[in-house]
């Protein structure tokens, strides 16, 4: 019997509702696998934690994460107005999410931009553009760059407010993520798109040097260098040209959400954040305060993150595969939630019913 301890960080907004469905699925997987036991540990995180304890990432949560085998995170964040009620440095992104990433050095963020043909109707792209389906593994560096560089704000000699923040990378940071890109490419189509902006950014010049150096260790992988702006064009125009994409933190933030756009919703994009020792899993979408509590948020991205956890942290590949198939099957049967679909386009069900249908398929 193997026991996996999982810290559950439901978070804010729709986080708790989609997390409930993730737990439902986890319990079922546990039931079906006599030799596996999930120890679930619910802890506070984000704005919810701040209002309860004064800290967005409280000590108790840190302790729970430290001892966990994997961390499953919901969503965090408040709307623009409400977030002003929290001091800037305790706001859930700066006070909880970025520290979580830093604490476990989860440098490799996997965001599958994946749309099988059967789900193509969700996409804003023409059928002819989606073709046989979109299947991109977008890999984002998650603990460097502008996100974690020094920041300085002040007033200059002329009395003007100013701000300076630093984008920084060293070769080790770049090398470790670039290697992940190559390794994943080896298991897929052996074509890696390297996203950069070397015609302006010196960080991209160094980045590209490392890509070139590392490519010698992966001679079978064809590297295609593409400017981040051109990548943004082609991700709309011809998404099927991409298989593995690797890029620095901020580029990854923007392009992965564009990826959610071409899928039809960030609700269709789970994600994995891997560190050397510990990984955490989260939907790519936000906390959607406007629809929180209504039971209409689709749990696909959250349950997909469970699938990634089963596969990447627990080596339960078969269970992960079945879970993907079950989720897609529910959509293919014509069910959806009202955040993703309109009346008439699908048989609308609630968040909980969607979770039930996934379990039934399993």
Ligand X SMILES: CC(C)[C@H](C(=O)O)[C@@H](O)C(=O)O
> Residues interacting with its own copies, by CB under 8 A?
77, 80, 83, 88, 91, 93-94, 98, 124-126, 129, 146-147, 149, 151-153, 156, 160-172, 197, 199-203, 205-206, 209, 225, 228-230, 232-238, 250-251, 253-258, 260-262, 264-266, 286
User: Looking at beta carbons, which pairs linking 39-44 to residues 24 or more positions away fall under 8 Å?
Assistant: 39/3, 39/4, 39/5, 39/6, 40/6, 40/8, 41/5, 41/6, 41/7, 41/8, 41/68, 42/8, 42/10, 43/7, 43/8, 43/9, 44/9
Q: Which partner, ligand X, its own copies, none, binds residue 149 by CB below 5 to 8 Å per kind?
A: its own copies
Query: Closer to ligand X at the Cβ: 281 or 331?
Result: 281
The residues annotated as belonging to the active site are 147, 197, 229, 253, 257
Q: Applying CB under 6 A, does 82 fall inside the site for ligand X?
A: no
DSSP 241-273: G-SEEEE-HHHHHHHHHHHHHHHT-GGG-EEEE
Least Cα distance to 177 among 226, 243, 106 occurs for 106
Shorter beta-carbon distance to ligand X: residue 58 or 92 = 92
Residue showing the smallest CB distance to ligand X in the complex: 93
**Between residue 51 and residue 80, which ones bind ligand X under the rule CB under 6 A?**
77
Selected from 63, 88, 166, 200, the binder of ligand X by CB under 6 A is 200
Please report how close the Cβ of residue 284 comes to ligand X at its closest, in angstroms.
6
Q: How far is the CB of 155 from ligand X (least distance, A)?
A: 27
Q: Which does 187 bind (CB under 5 to 8 A by kind): ligand X, its own copies, none?
A: none
> Burial code of 59-92, b = ≥16 C-beta within 10 A, e = fewer?
eebbebbeebbbbbbbbbbbeeeeeeebeeebbb
37 vs 233, which CB is nearer to its own copies?
233
Region of 50 please: left (phi>0), alpha (psi -120 to 50) or beta.
alpha
Instruction: Give the footprint of ligand X on this chain (CB under 6 A).
Output: 77, 93, 97, 199-200, 229, 253
């Amino acid at each position: 019997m193997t026991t996996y301890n999982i810290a559950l960080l439901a978070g804010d907004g729709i986080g708790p509702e989609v997390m409930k469905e993730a737990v439902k699925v986890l319990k079922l997987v546990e039931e079906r696998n006599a030799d596996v036991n999930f120890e679930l540990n619910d802890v506070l995180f984000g704005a919810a934690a701040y209002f309860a304890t004064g800290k967005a990432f409280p000590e108790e949560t840190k302790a729970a994460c430290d001892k966990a085998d994997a961390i499953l995170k919901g969503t965090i964040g408040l709307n623009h107005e409400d977030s002003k009620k929290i001091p800037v440095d305790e706001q859930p992104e700066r006070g909880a999410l970025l520290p979580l990433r830093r604490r476990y050095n989860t440098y490799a963020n996997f965001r599958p931009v994946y749309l099988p043909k059967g789900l193509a109707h969700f996409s804003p792209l023409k059928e002819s553009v989606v073709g046989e389906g979109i299947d991109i593994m977008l890999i984002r560096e998650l603990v460097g760059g502008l996100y974690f560089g020094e920041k300085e704000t002040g007033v200059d000699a002329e009395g003007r407010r100013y701000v300076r923040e630093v984008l920084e990378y060293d070769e080790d940071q770049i090398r470790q993520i670039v290697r992940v890109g190559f390794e994943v490419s080896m298991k897929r189509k052996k074509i890696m798109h390297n996203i950069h902006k070397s015609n302006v950014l010196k960080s991209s010049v160094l980045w590209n040097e490392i890509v070139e150096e590392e490519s010698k260790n992966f001679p079978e992988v064809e590297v295609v260098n593409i400017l981040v702006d051109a990548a943004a064009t082609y991700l709309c125009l011809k998404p099927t040209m991409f298989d593995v994409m690797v890029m620095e933190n901020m580029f990854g933030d923007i392009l992965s959400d564009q990826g959610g756009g071409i899928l039809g919703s960030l609700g269709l994009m789970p994600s994995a954040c891997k560190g050397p020792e510990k990984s955490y899993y989260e939907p790519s979408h936000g906390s959607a305060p406007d629809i929180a509590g209504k039971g209409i948020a689709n749990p696909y991205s959250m349950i997909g993150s469970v699938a990634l956890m089963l596969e990447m942290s627990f080596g339960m590949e078969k269970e992960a595969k079945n879970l993907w198939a079950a989720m897609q099957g529910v959509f293919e049967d014509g069910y959806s939630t009202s955040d993703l679909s309109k009346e008439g386009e699908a048989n609308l069900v609630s968040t909980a019913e969607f979770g039930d249908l996934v379990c039934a398929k399993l």
